[in-house]
Structure 1
Amino acid sequence: MTTTLAELEAETPDQAPVPGKARAARRRGVDPIPWWLWLIGGAVAVYFILPTLFVIPMSFSSASTFEFPPRGFSLRLYENFFTHEIWLTSLRNSVLVAVLAALLATVVGTAAAIGLHNLKGRLARFVRTLLMVSMVTPAIVLAVAVYISFLTWHLVGTATGYVLAHAAIGVPFVLVSVTSALGGFDPKLLRASASLGASPLRTFLRVTMPLISRGIVTGAIFAFVTSFDEVVIALFLRSPLFQTLPVQMYNSVTVEVDPTIAASSSLVVTAVTVICLVLQFVGSRRKTR
């Protein structure tokens, strides 16, 4: 027995892992990503970024038409965008509709997510599926249905019609985001709050909402972005007195052939990218804390 223990003690230092190798193993991870998966991911990323690499340089071109590679450097297209009333009016309309639609979609989607979280059975599955229909339905089908309905209600060409239609397509994003946030919510906190005398409204504002705030904010941002760049329904609801920026961009290509669309597209892409990056940065900071 003594010999065996001595042999084990002699073998232990040789079998101990080298610190450098242990750190390298931790960096590589248990299941490292293969090179071909990195290659496919990079190719997909380039495919999605490629249109931006054409549009943004064209927005600084001095040419009077679409031209790539751009000829010269000029801010003329951005000057056209910020000095022409039709572009500024369309931008204001898009921001107004997107903000109101996002607020309405956030309220409805959050309420639906909380209600369905506490509801079980076939009824909950049916209601959840019903609320998600607009996410999988073709945009042209939704546009036709909205147009026929809004004609009867005299909402075509009005800001109210835009807000209601865009809120309907934004609710599924809020529902998915808030439902995911509720997955880690402990219902015992609600009983504890009620036992301390808090009303349901106070419990929601002080307990539930802070814990699922990230899901609510994420859903609201997705609802805003979806409304801001939606064009199919907006084409059906447009009027000479009210149209959004995507409709004006569509007209500048099909009717006017106005290269100012390059500047407006660059601004929209930049704004959406900044919003998503801010959301990602805030989320990562909260995780770190």
Structure 2
Amino acid sequence: MALPIYASPLERAWHWTYKILCAAIFIFLIAPILVVIPLSFNAEPYFTFTEKMLSFDPTGYSMRWYDLLLTFGMQAPEAERGASWWADVWQHATWVQVAKNSVVVGFFATLLATVLGTLAALGLSRPEMPFKRSIMAILISPMIVPIIITATGLFFFYSSIQIRSWGIPYLGVVLAHATLGIPFVIITVTATLVGFDHSLTRAAASLGASPVTIFRKVTMPLILPGMISGALFAFVTSFDEVVVVMFIAAPDEQTIPRQMWNGIREQISPAILAVATILVVISILLLATVELLRRRGEKLRGVSPS
């Protein structure tokens, strides 16, 4: 907001102090992420800026670590890069395999979290729902409780029911990630339902529409931006989560965060920085999508964005 022309010297001083504080906080939060991106293009196998990088010498920068993400684990990485080479990447490259695992786990965890979280939000939005505050606190507790406690509890629970003996790969990881993603869906859908006009559903019911038709034709189109926003947050949570995976997953069940953790323990390689850069870009794109959906939801509810 622009400073009014009649502002006093003290107000002007506070205005610029406020801007400087906001800028300093923003830089403090974003600096660790910004440092990772140029380091991922380091031509040398170091986690620090070399003299060539600091002097902007082109020879100090390289795409070798991004190339390593494709070649690591391949059977014939030096072969000619044709259709067979890319088939080898798809079938044997370690980072590609863990990326596929993360996407599959994230998809099913997000699907489960979105369905259950939406149902919970719809139930909590009903005026006749008893103990809403207590139930809401319990449902969003996975977001509040330290992740190590949640992971430990899930480990003992899954061990007691012997979930690995069920023969479904990544089942425990999917259910655990869905547990962590449900609070995000509940919060976003509940926020969408705050401005929801329930007279629309009553009007549809008075015209003879069934509850399923009312939800499909009236409720769902209006809360869809909140559902998608919650689903994106749930997917990001699943895609970046490592603690629960280390507790729950079997030794052969690898995801991107777990592979990064193993790489840090066994062999420090800037390839991890390349993966981190890719994850940052994906997160930025998802957050931009969430913002667009938020604005669309405000327009559907007749609320102008501030």
TM-score between both structures, scaled by the size of structure 1? 0.84
**Equivalent AA in structure 1 for residue 16 of structure 2:** W
Match of 1:66 among 47, 54, 60: 47
Cα deviation for residue 158 of structure 1 reads 3.6
1:172 correspondence with 2:153? no
In the alignment, the residues of structure 2 paired with residue 126 and residue 51 of structure 1 have an alpha-carbon distance, to the nearest angstrom, of 38
Three-state SS of the structure 1 residue aligned to 2:48 is: coil
On the 8 A contact 1:252/1:259 being kept in 2, the answer is: no
Cα deviation for residue 181 of structure 1 reads 0.5
Aligned length in residues: 264
Please list every run of at least 4 consecutive aligned residues from structure 1 whose deviation after the TM superposition is greater than 4 angstroms: 23-26, 119-122, 285-289
Map Cα deviations across residues 189-209 of structure 1 (whole Å, 9 max, x no partner). Answer: 111001111110110011011
Correspondence for 2:117? 109
Cα deviation for residue 186 of structure 1 reads 1.1
On the 8 A contact 1:81/1:260 being kept in 2, the answer is: yes
In the alignment, the residues of structure 2 paired with residue 134 and residue 283 of structure 1 have an alpha-carbon distance, to the nearest angstrom, of 24
Cα deviation for residue 288 of structure 1 reads 6.4
Correspondence for 1:56? 37
In the alignment, the residues of structure 1 paired with residue 284 and residue 292 of structure 2 have an alpha-carbon distance, to the nearest angstrom, of 12
Map Cα deviations across residues 207-241 of structure 1 (whole Å, 9 max, x no partner). Answer: 01111111111111111111110111111123332
In the alignment, the residues of structure 2 paired with residue 113 and residue 282 of structure 1 have an alpha-carbon distance, to the nearest angstrom, of 18
**Equivalent AA in structure 1 for residue 248 of structure 2:** L
In the alignment, the residues of structure 2 paired with residue 243 and residue 285 of structure 1 have an alpha-carbon distance, to the nearest angstrom, of 37
Cα deviation for residue 34 of structure 1 reads 2.5
Map Cα deviations across residues 243-280 of structure 1 (whole Å, 9 max, x no partner). Answer: 11001111111222222101000000011101111332
1:38 correspondence with 2:19? yes
In the alignment, the residues of structure 1 paired with residue 144 and residue 231 of structure 2 have an alpha-carbon distance, to the nearest angstrom, of 19
Correspondence for 2:288? 277
1:234 correspondence with 2:245? yes
Correspondence for 1:197? 208
Three-state SS of the structure 1 residue aligned to 2:125 is: helix
In the alignment, the residues of structure 2 paired with residue 285 and residue 129 of structure 1 have an alpha-carbon distance, to the nearest angstrom, of 28
Cα deviation for residue 119 of structure 1 reads 4.5
1:149 correspondence with 2:161? no
Q: How does 1:246-265 map to 2 (within 5 A)?
A: 246-265=257-276
**Equivalent AA in structure 1 for residue 101 of structure 2:** N
Change in CA separation of 1:155 and 1:40 when aligned onto 2, cut-off 3 Å: farther
5+ residue gaps, structure 1, are 1-22
Cα deviation for residue 65 of structure 1 reads 3.0
Correspondence for 1:7? none
In the alignment, the residues of structure 1 paired with residue 229 and residue 71 of structure 2 have an alpha-carbon distance, to the nearest angstrom, of 33
Correspondence for 2:255? 244
Three-state SS of the structure 1 residue aligned to 2:60 is: coil
**Equivalent AA in structure 1 for residue 199 of structure 2:** K
Percent identity over the alignment?
38
Change in CA separation of 1:193 and 1:266 when aligned onto 2, cut-off 3 Å: same
Match of 1:92 among 89, 96, 100: 100
Correspondence for 1:266? 277
TM-score between both structures, scaled by the size of structure 2? 0.80
On the 8 A contact 1:58/1:67 being kept in 2, the answer is: yes
On the 8 A contact 1:108/1:171 being kept in 2, the answer is: yes
In the alignment, the residues of structure 2 paired with residue 207 and residue 215 of structure 1 have an alpha-carbon distance, to the nearest angstrom, of 14
Match of 1:78 among 52, 66, 83: 66
Cα deviation for residue 67 of structure 1 reads 2.5
Match of 1:132 among 134, 140, 144: 140
In the alignment, the residues of structure 1 paired with residue 41 and residue 119 of structure 2 have an alpha-carbon distance, to the nearest angstrom, of 45
5+ residue gaps, structure 2, are 54-58, 73-92, 301-306
On the 8 A contact 1:175/1:219 being kept in 2, the answer is: yes
Correspondence for 1:9? none
Q: Which is further off, 113-122 or 47-56?
A: 113-122
1:218 correspondence with 2:229? yes
Change in CA separation of 1:38 and 1:263 when aligned onto 2, cut-off 3 Å: same
Q: Which is further off, 59-68 or 32-41?
A: 32-41
In the alignment, the residues of structure 1 paired with residue 48 and residue 3 of structure 2 have an alpha-carbon distance, to the nearest angstrom, of 50
On the 8 A contact 1:174/1:223 being kept in 2, the answer is: yes
